[in-house]
Amino acid sequence: MDPRAGTPAQPQDLIDTDAVVGAYYDRTPDLDDVAQQVVFGTSGHRGSSLDGAFNEAHIVAITAAIIEYRRAEGTDGPLFIGRDTHALSEPAWRTALEVLAAADVDVRVDARDSWTPTPAVSHAILLHNGAGTSQGVRTTGPGLADGIVVTPSHNPPRDGGFKYNPPHGGPAGSEATGWIAARANELMRSGVGSVPRVSAERALAADTTRRHDFLTAYVDDLSSVIDLGAIRDAGVRIGADPLGGAAVEYWAAIAERHGLDLTVVNPTVDPRWSFMTLDWDGKIRMDCSSPYAMASLVHAMAAADGGASPYDIATGNDADSDRHGIVTPDAGLMNPNHYLAVAISYLYGGARPGWPAGAAIGKTLVSSALIDRVAGSLGRTLLEVPVGFKWFVPGLLDGSVGFGGEESAGASFLRHDGTVWTTDKDGILLALLASEITARTGRSPSQLHADLVGQFGESWYARVDAPATLEEKATLGKLAPEQVTATELAGEPITARLTAAPGNGASIGGLKVTTENAWFAARPSGTENVYKIYGESFVSAEHLARVQSEARDVVSGALG
């Protein structure tokens, strides 16, 4: 923990945006260095131009590879492209347009020449492909749309990111991203100078580049998924902090369009994020699930004459608005797992009568077991999947999953009529849901979480890291259940040893061990020489510490 965590950023913490953008154009990646090659994680390719990991050559190559991929898949409709507020996002967006226009790809850019949240891109793809119509979303056939979002999500200001969403509207699967990354690296090795391009001016003026009003389409359609009338009629006072991200204009438009008592707490957009408080490690990071990054909003929630809160609900989003943070007057920033459990209990507890009776509850296997207990009480099927929102896409598309949520504060759910809204995470949606919950129950989400604790018990949840070599990380990602020889964990018999997700049988790329009152999961980091240990105990904080300690021993024993 950095001693300045939660304190305002100082001049020495800020990036030199000219240097970051200059390195994007000037630096040539060293492809003998794995860290400078194209690598797609769960949310696309990310890196910094200063490290040779996110430069013009990367974006030329990735865009060219996406063009080849979509042609091979028969995707010949428009490609919707959006960007967030990171310094590298606009240069990368322009580079992509130059390559797309040269290839005569039908591209849709923002009509306001502004920022576009990830959920608005997913929403646009799905609407084009049939969402909200009687035939539903098409994922095969002519004229299908797909998309690109230029964003590193909540990463620090020095970083850039680039992700692809195929016609299903959600994050591309590993087969697609693996092919795109491999082809992009081939193109970089052979020289991206051979990739056809036109100037940015010609690209923007091309007949194949058209304007799309992402904001109006998204904001006007929100009433199909959120009870905005209840929020308005109850007079819920909302404080929305975009954290300098792509949602800033969306929140203002939502307030005006739907007549909500909503204040944009901080409308400032600064690619240095000079207004942020530092995260746990002393870095500027737009992580709306972090109490350190969200310190200013938590303070704003409490700072008022006489001690009264100025808002009934305050919310934050990361830079591309696919994550949510919920702040209540009585509890401050809610733990993401706590809010997910409340949202599920509310939505499936009668708030969405139009949903299919068999719609499952989706959670990642490192999310709280409180969700399991809530699902059991509701008599609903629990779909437990590996880490990554892509696993919820098929269920959200066909309505077999009503809600999909990740422990990292990302989720989406169906429209009132049980049809798909977005197949990517939607932080704006989940933030508005907190206000709907308050309006319709008369209680805050944190108060409702206290009710769940009274019903199902209190739990303690945390994630810690443990050192691991590259070889150990590779072994951990390929473990078999029989390699775990331990029979007890923190004084309780082990009830399951999982290397595949119960919900779909997909590999979890690690290990999960459960007991009656606790569990841990271990997964190798994709960027550091550590593995992540997620753990939860329904006994005590001390018991969780014991689970975490013994988890290291269990993993070490399995690794041999």
User: Minimal CA–CA distance to 327: which of 303, 283, 297, 371?
Assistant: 297
| Residue 491: per-residue pLDDT | 96
CA 424 to chain centroid, in Å, comes to 8
Residue 132 CB neighbours (<10 A): 16
> Spelled out in words, what is the top-level CATH class assigned to the domain 11-217?
alpha beta
The percent of residues in the chain predicted with pLDDT above 70, rounded, is 99
**DSSP readout, 48-94?**
EGGGTSS-HHHHHHHHHHHHHHHHHTT--S-EEEEE-SSTTHHHHHH
pLDDT of 154 higher than 90: yes
* Helix, strand, coil percentages in the chain from 3-state DSSP, rounded to 5: 40, 20, 40
- Which of 103-107, 140-144, 490-494 comes out lowest in average pLDDT? 140-144
pLDDT of 556 higher than 80: yes
- The residue-averaged pLDDT of 313-320 equals 97
Could you read off the pLDDT of 82-134 as tens digits, one per residue? Answer: 999 999 999 999 999 999 999 999 999 999 999 999 999 999 999 999 998 87
Task: Write out the H or E segment, with its range, that includes residue 549.
Answer: helix 541-559
Could you read off the pLDDT of 392-421 as tens digits, one per residue? Answer: 999 999 999 999 999 999 999 999 999 999
CATH architecture of 460-559: 2-Layer Sandwich (3.30)
Q: Residue ranges of the domains in the chain?
A: 11-217, 460-559
153 is catalytic: yes
Question: Residue 305: which pLDDT band, with cuts at 50, 70 and 90?
Answer: low
Token pair 């009338």: residue? 229
- The residue-averaged pLDDT of 490-501 equals 95
| Residue 559: per-residue pLDDT | 84
| Average pLDDT along the chain | 95
Question: Residue 143: which pLDDT band, with cuts at 50, 70 and 90?
Answer: very high
Question: Residue 470: which pLDDT band, with cuts at 50, 70 and 90?
Answer: confident
- Which of 107-116, 349-358, 476-485 comes out lowest in average pLDDT? 476-485
Q: Is 545 exposed, middle or buried (0-12, 13-18, 19+ CB in 10 A)?
A: middle
Number of C-alpha atoms within 13 angstroms, CB side, residue 32?
A: 0
DSSP 208: T
Say how far apart CA 440 and CA 390 lie, in whole Å. Answer: 31
CA 305 to chain centroid, in Å, comes to 36
| Residue 560: per-residue pLDDT | 76
The percent of residues in the chain predicted with pLDDT above 90, rounded, is 88
pLDDT of 139 higher than 90: no
Question: Which residue in 122, 153, 321, 412 is the catalytic one?
Answer: 153
Could you read off the pLDDT of 240-270 as tens digits, one per residue? Answer: 999 999 999 999 999 999 999 999 999 999 9
- The residue-averaged pLDDT of 501-517 equals 94
| Residue 304: per-residue pLDDT | 60
- Which of 21-25, 49-53, 325-329, 482-486 comes out lowest in average pLDDT? 482-486
Say how far apart CA 282 and CA 291 lie, in whole Å. Answer: 13
| Residue 376: per-residue pLDDT | 97
Say how far apart CA 60 and CA 100 lie, in whole Å. Answer: 9
| Residue 132: per-residue pLDDT | 80
- The residue-averaged pLDDT of 206-224 equals 98
Say how far apart CA 122 and CA 103 lie, in whole Å. Answer: 23
Could you read off the pLDDT of 158-192 as tens digits, one per residue? Answer: 999 999 999 999 999 999 999 999 999 999 999 99
Q: Is 261 exposed, middle or buried (0-12, 13-18, 19+ CB in 10 A)?
A: middle
